[in-house]
Copies of this chain bind each other. A is one copy, B any other.
Amino acid sequence: ARPRVGYFYTGKSSTQLLSESIKKIKVNDFKSIPVVVNENVTVYDAIVTMFLEDVGTLFVVDNDNLLVGALSRKDCLRASIGKQDLNTVPVHIIMTRMPNITMCKGDDLLIHVAEKLIEKQIDAIPIVRERDNGYEVVGRITKSNITKAFVSLFNED
């Protein structure tokens, strides 16, 4: 039987086709703009930035604009119920610091970044570009971006 016009036969099962569709999705297809703060700003100012920019994770950079850490809502909440003064403590004291930051590149597969988010139990991963002395932050991928990718698979046609 010849396939009807408008359909096509690839000789592949549906789960194979599914895997292949997902394998085409790159980080760059669903990335968001990163929000960065200098390592010397106070935790209070970082929290205000989180609310103003409506993000759950800030990336922390040094004076050369290179990635030195990440700060989540969870980190800030922990600090805020602690004994430290949010108005004087700089973010580099409470942030998760390099080299313990999971990073990715814009042309990485989104599925691999999704696996890292689950495995490391984190909310956001910075998209970086390598520089002489470190990494510049050029984007971010969060579980919201993965959720949008999931929804887009369904609405593709």
Residues of A within 8 A of B (CB): 1-4, 7-23, 44, 47-48, 50-51, 56, 73-74, 76-78, 80-81, 86, 111, 114-115, 117-118, 142-144, 146-151, 153-154, 156-157
Contacts and interface: CB of A to CB of B under 8 A. Distances in A.
B148 A150 contact: no
B146 A147 contact: yes
Contact of A111 (B20, B115, B118, B154): B154
B23 A81 contact: no
A155 to B, nearest CB: 8
Contacts of A78: 51
A48 to B, nearest CB: 8
A20 B14 CA distance: 9
Contacts of A51: 78
A44 to B, nearest CB: 7
A111 B7 CA distance: 25
Contact of A144 (B16, B143, B150): B143
